[in-house]
Chain A
Amino acid sequence: MSAPTSAEVVVIGSGICGSLAAWKLATRGVPVLILEAGPRIDRGRIVAAFRNSPRKSDWMSPYPFSPWAPQPQYEPKSNGYLVQAGPYPYPAEYIRVVGGTTWHWAALAWRLLPNDLRIESLYGVGVDWPMTYGELDPWYQEAEEILGVAGAPDTGSPRKQPFPMQPVADPWAMLRIRERLAPVYPVVSNTVARNSRSYGGRPACVGNNSCQPICPVNAQYLGINAVEAAEAAGATVVPNAVVYRIEHDGSGSIVAVHYYDPGRISHRITGRQFILAANGIESPKLLLLSASGKFPKGLANSSGMVGRNLMDHPSSSLTFYADEALWLGRGPQSPNSINTLRDGAFRSRHAAYRLDFTNISQVLSVTQALIMEGVYGTELERQLRWRAAHQMSVKTLLEVLPDPANRVTLSSEKDALGIPKPQAHYSIDDYTRRGADAASADFAKIAQLLGGSGLRYSPRGQFANNQHITGTLAMGDDPGRFVTDRFGRAHDHENLFMCGTGVMPTSATMNSTLTAVALALRTADHMLPLPSAAMSAATAAARE
C-alpha cells in the first residue's frame, strides 16, 4: 500500500502530545496523517532488550537506534547527536520511535500551580503565561481522564473534578519515610498516569519497578496508547518518515512537508493544517531547517525566539543510608514527593523545587559500589543486603528561568541523512543554583530525621538532567517575544500549530508532560472547536 500524499491535518511527531491532538481531530472526522521519524517498536522486545542489556541504569539502552532518525545517547560513550556548545552540558535524552519518549517516562502527571503561570507578576522573574491556571483546568481534567491519572487531594494543585482514580498504593518504604518526616515535611503520593485499578482497558500496576525504561504490563499510559487511539479513530501513521523541511506559499501559509525515508528518497505531503509535535529539540530544529527567502531566520521565527529559552529541571541529590531497612524497589519507581517548596515568596530570590523520593531498587547501584570497593567473601552478601535495604535518595527538581541564551541551534555537523544535528547552548544560572543551595538544607534535615549515615551529596554546582525539555517554542501574546500564540498557533503562520513541552513558557517544578498534553488538547479544540466544548471551556474560564 502506498503512503498517502496529503491529509487535512498533517502531524509531525507521534509522541503523546501529537498523537492525542491527532486523536481528538480524528474523532471529529478530520483526516489526519502522522509522520514519525522512527520505527514502530514492540513492548515485549523492549522488555527483553532491557533484561539483556549490559547497561541497566541507561534507560536508552533497550531502545533501538535508527541511523536515519538518530537520538541522543551517552552510554557507554556519547554518540554526538545532540551537539554540546556549552558552557554547561545539556545531555537531553529522547526516543525517536512511534509513540515517542514517554515509552520510558516515570508517568508523573502533575499539574502546575496557579502561581507557576504568573511568576513575572508575582515574583518579578521569568514570564507570565498567556492564560490562567483556571483556563487550563478543563484540559487538565480531560488529559487526566484520557491518561488515567491517579492522584491524592493534597498535592497543592487545585482541581474542580476528582481524579479518575485513587492514588497508587504507596510502597511500605514511603509510608515509613512519610511517618518519619511528618513533623517537618508532608510527603505526598505522586500524581501519576499509572493505574491503581483497571482503567482504559489497561491493568492495575503490579509493581515491576521498571517504569523507566519500560512498563511491561501497560499499567502506565504511554504515547503508544495515544497512537493506537488515534489510529482507531481513523488517523494514519507513517513510520520512518524523517521530516526535513516545511514548505510555505507566498502568503506564508504552510502547504506541505517533505520527508526522507530511510533510503533518503524524498516525499512531499500536502495538507491544510499542520501540527509540529516533534519535541522541544527536534521541533525548533525543523523550523530552523525550513528557512527560506521569505523567512530567512527559519519558520515561525520572526521573533528570533525559535529554539531559545531552553529549560529543563536540573537535579541535585542526596544519597544515604536510613537507620531502618526500607528495601526500595517494591512497587512503582517514583511514588512520593515533598511539594511544599514549589512556591513561595522566595521565588523572587531563588528557584522553587520539588523534592522527589525514588523507589528504584538500590541493588544494582550498591552492588556496583561493593565491587568497586573490593568487598569480597562472606562480607559481600551481608553488605549487599544491608545497603540494598537501607540506601535511599532524594533529589530536587529545580525551576529554570527562561533565558534566550539557552537555546537549540543547527550544528554544522550532519546526521546520516545529511540533516544538520541539533546543538544545545545551555547554562544554569545563579537563580537555580541558589535554589539548589537552599535544598541542601532540606536534604540535611531529611537525612537527620531518618537517622541517615553515609551521606553523599551530589557535588555543588553539578546537576543531573531530567529530560523535561521546555521553552523552545514558547507561547505568549506578543509576536515579538514568543513563537506561538496562546493556542499554540505560530504567530507567523496561520495554519501551523505546535504541541509538546516546548510551548511551555516557563518550566515550573513539575514534570512537564501532563501540562503539554493539556495544552495539546486545547490546541486541537482551537483548531476545530466543538460548540459544546468551546462553551464549557468558556464557562469554566468565566468562573475563575
Chain B
Amino acid sequence: MTDDCRSPDEDSGLANPARRRVLAGFLTAYTASLVPWALAQPVARPEHGAFMALSAILVGRRSLDSGLAARLYDALTTTYPHFAADAKALLAQVNQQHIDPAQLQQVLDASHSPLAPLPRRIMRAWCLGLVGEGEATHCIAYENALDAVMVAEVLKPPTYAYGQYGSWANPPVAKGANES
C-alpha cells in the first residue's frame, strides 16, 4: 500500500480527540446491529449523522474516512438540494422497517420510492468518488474511493506505478481466502 492509496482505517480521524460525536448516536438498535463495528466511528458534524449512518450500512466497512465523508457530504448536498432530508428519511425507513441492506435497493425500487436513487448516489460517491449526473458529474475522490481501497493490497489505481519492471509477473498476494 502506498502513501497515495491509504485505507480509510489509516485516515479515519479516530485518533482525533476533537471528534467526540460517534455514529452510535444516530442509530437505533436495529441499524446498530447492522454495523456494530462502526459504532465508534466519529461524525465530524451533527448534520452528517444520517449520511454517515447510511454510509456505514451501505458500504459495510469497519470505518469511514471522515475527511472524505465531509467532502462527499458537501458535494451531495450541493448537487441534490433534498439530500440531507432524504438521507434522514431513508435511515428512518430502514430503522422502522428493519430493511436488510442486501434487500434495500430492491425494496425501494419495487415500491417506486422517491428515495430509490439515494443508495446508489451514496454508493457511487463512496465507491467511485463520483457525485452528480451526466455532464455535471464531479470526481471527488480517486485513490481513496472505496473501490481502490478495497483491493489496495493487490492493485494500484491506474496511473500509479505497480512496481519495478516485471514485478507484475509474480503471483498476486491477496488477503483472505475468498479470492481463490
Give A residues with C-beta under 8 Å from B: 47, 50-56, 76-77, 169-172, 175, 196-197, 204-210, 214, 216-217, 324-325, 327, 329-331, 360-361, 363-364, 367-368, 370-382, 384-386, 388-389
A206 and B164 in contact (CB under 8 A), knowing A371-B127, A376-B101? yes
Question: Max chain A CB contacts within 10 Å: which of B34, B171, B179?
Answer: B179
A363 and B165 in contact (CB under 8 A), knowing A172-B171, A378-B60, A386-B178? no
14 contacts between A and B (CB under 8 A): A50-B159, A77-B135, A172-B171, A172-B172, A197-B165, A207-B162, A209-B156, A324-B180, A325-B180, A327-B154, A363-B148, A371-B123, A377-B102, A386-B178
Question: Looking at the complex, which of B64-72, B83-91, B136-144 is the stretch in contact with chain A?
Answer: B136-144
Contacts A52-B142, A327-B172, A376-B105 known; 9 new A-B pairs at CB < 8 A: A54-B137, A172-B172, A208-B162, A364-B147, A375-B102, A377-B60, A378-B60, A380-B127, A388-B155
Residues of B close to A368: CB separation below 8 A:
128
A204 to B162, CA, bound (A): 12
Tell me how many residues of B have a C-beta within 8 Å of chain A.
56
Beta-carbon contact of B159 and A206 below 8 Å: no
Beta-carbon contact of B159 and A361 below 8 Å: no
Q: Which are the 8 A-B pairs with shortest beta-carbon distances?
A: A374-B105, A207-B162, A331-B168, A377-B101, A169-B166, A54-B137, A378-B60, A330-B168
Residues of A close to B155: CB separation below 8 A:
209, 327, 329-330, 361, 363, 388
B29 contacts chain A at the CB level, 8 A cutoff: no
Expressed in whole angstroms, the minimum distance between the Cβ of A91 and any Cβ of chain B is 18
Beta-carbon contact of B158 and A208 below 8 Å: yes
Beta-carbon contact of B165 and A381 below 8 Å: no
A377 and B160 in contact (CB under 8 A), knowing A172-B168, A204-B165, A384-B151? no
Residues of B close to A207: CB separation below 8 A:
156, 161-163, 165, 167-168
A325 and B169 in contact (CB under 8 A), knowing A367-B147, A381-B150? no
A134 to B123, CA, bound (A): 57
B104's nearest neighbour on chain A, judged by CB, is A376
Beta-carbon contact of A208 and B123 below 8 Å: no
B127's nearest neighbour on chain A, judged by CB, is A367
B130 contacts chain A at the CB level, 8 A cutoff: yes
Beta-carbon contact of A363 and B168 below 8 Å: no
Beta-carbon contact of A376 and B119 below 8 Å: yes
Residues of A close to B162: CB separation below 8 A:
206-209, 330-331
Kindly identify which residue among A54, A169, A205, A217 contacts B138, using a CB–CB cutoff of 8 Å.
A54
Expressed in whole angstroms, the minimum distance between the Cβ of A53 and any Cβ of chain B is 6
A169 and B169 in contact (CB under 8 A), knowing A77-B134, A208-B159, A377-B57? yes
Beta-carbon contact of B165 and A205 below 8 Å: yes
Residues of B close to A51: CB separation below 8 A:
139, 142-143, 157, 159
B40 contacts chain A at the CB level, 8 A cutoff: no
Expressed in whole angstroms, the minimum distance between the Cβ of B52 and any Cβ of chain A is 15
Kindly identify which residue among B124, B130, B150, B174 contacts A384, using a CB–CB cutoff of 8 Å.
B150
Residues of B close to A208: CB separation below 8 A:
156, 158-162
B145's nearest neighbour on chain A, judged by CB, is A367
Beta-carbon contact of A380 and B134 below 8 Å: no
B120 contacts chain A at the CB level, 8 A cutoff: yes
Beta-carbon contact of B158 and A381 below 8 Å: no
Residues of A close to B150: CB separation below 8 A:
381, 384-385
A175 and B169 in contact (CB under 8 A), knowing A325-B174, A378-B60? yes
A54 and B106 in contact (CB under 8 A), knowing A206-B164, A330-B155, A385-B150? no
Expressed in whole angstroms, the minimum distance between the Cβ of A187 and any Cβ of chain B is 14
B115 contacts chain A at the CB level, 8 A cutoff: no
Kindly identify which residue among B58, B59, B165 contacts A206, using a CB–CB cutoff of 8 Å.
B165
Residues of B close to A54: CB separation below 8 A:
130, 132, 137-139
A388 and B151 in contact (CB under 8 A), knowing A76-B137, A371-B120, A376-B57? yes
A363 to B150, CA, bound (A): 9
B170 contacts chain A at the CB level, 8 A cutoff: yes
A217 to B159, CA, bound (A): 9
Beta-carbon contact of B169 and A384 below 8 Å: no
A248 to B120, CA, bound (A): 60
Residues of A close to B156: CB separation below 8 A:
207-209
Expressed in whole angstroms, the minimum distance between the Cβ of A192 and any Cβ of chain B is 14
Residues of B close to A385: CB separation below 8 A:
150-151, 174, 176, 178-179
Beta-carbon contact of B174 and A374 below 8 Å: no
Residues of B close to A371: CB separation below 8 A:
120, 123-124, 127-128
B158's nearest neighbour on chain A, judged by CB, is A210
Kindly identify which residue among B100, B104, B142, B158 contacts A329, using a CB–CB cutoff of 8 Å.
B158
Residues of B close to A372: CB separation below 8 A:
120
Beta-carbon contact of B179 and A325 below 8 Å: yes
B48 contacts chain A at the CB level, 8 A cutoff: no
Residues of A close to B104: CB separation below 8 A:
374, 376
Kindly identify which residue among B61, B105, B138, B154 contacts A381, using a CB–CB cutoff of 8 Å.
B61
A377's nearest neighbour on chain B, judged by CB, is B101
B148's nearest neighbour on chain A, judged by CB, is A363
A385 to B151, CA, bound (A): 6
A374 to B34, CA, bound (A): 17
Residues of B close to A380: CB separation below 8 A:
58-60, 123, 127
Residues of A close to B135: CB separation below 8 A:
76-77
Expressed in whole angstroms, the minimum distance between the Cβ of B136 and any Cβ of chain A is 9
Residues of B close to A175: CB separation below 8 A:
169
Residues of A close to B167: CB separation below 8 A:
207
Residues of A close to B178: CB separation below 8 A:
382, 385-386
A24 to B104, CA, bound (A): 64
A169 and B179 in contact (CB under 8 A), knowing A54-B137, A56-B158, A327-B154? no
A204's nearest neighbour on chain B, judged by CB, is B165
Interface residues as binary, B87-117 with A (CB distance below 8 Å gives 1, 0 otherwise) = 0000000000000111011100100000000
A368's nearest neighbour on chain B, judged by CB, is B128
Beta-carbon contact of B57 and A327 below 8 Å: no
Beta-carbon contact of A169 and B58 below 8 Å: no
A324 to B123, CA, bound (A): 28
Expressed in whole angstroms, the minimum distance between the Cβ of A474 and any Cβ of chain B is 37
Residues of A close to B174: CB separation below 8 A:
325, 327, 385, 389
Expressed in whole angstroms, the minimum distance between the Cβ of B123 and any Cβ of chain A is 5
Expressed in whole angstroms, the minimum distance between the Cβ of A496 and any Cβ of chain B is 41
Kindly identify which residue among B119, B169, B180 contacts A170, using a CB–CB cutoff of 8 Å.
B169
